[in-house]
Structure 1
Amino acid sequence: MNASKIETRIVHDFLDHCWNEALLKGKWVHMDSTLEYPISLDHPHYYEQNWGKKYEYVLAFSNDRVEDVTQTYTQNWDAVIKRREEKRPSFFRGLFQI
């Protein structure tokens, strides 16, 4: 996609899966080559609804930044906040090897 001048970034859920987002018409759009079309394109809640994901953090990595995109991928933000509050120290120790 980058060869086509479409900006992309890698998204990681820190559970067991990574996928991509592409910047299309000024909006970051979910894209996952491991899923069949049409689910593979612009279905950000698929993992939570169908795989039972219970996110704490979903981060998007581009060339020059890291962005917390968890709210894009959850329909239960209150539960995410609760999990973050319960596990924050262990998550950051693992992420940054503190």
Structure 2
Amino acid sequence: MMLPWKTASQSLVIRLAHLDQSPYSKFFSFNTHLNRVVHQHLTCADYLNLPEAKLDYFLASFVRNPYDRVYSGFRQIQADIVAQPYLHYDKVWV
């Protein structure tokens, strides 16, 4: 399941947690396949560069009203500004 930002991604993660076999971090981390820092909200182009893309999985994603998504994103960023200094990163340089 692709998880675009602000399109029910956390609801899906919680509901389908028992099926999650991903070896990747859900938080910011360095991805060796992409050679950069990423998080759980990959683009389809990023996904296509992961080893899993060669397994011919079906892809699914939700779409959201653009205005609602922008407003929700704005509120999320406001909350993240408060929480960010207290979050734990796997590596300090990330």
Superposed pair shares fold, TM > 0.5:
no
TM-score with structure 1 length normalisation? 0.31
Q: Which has the higher contact order (CA 8 A, sep 6+)?
A: 2
Q: Which structure dedicates a bigger proportion of its chain to helix?
A: 2
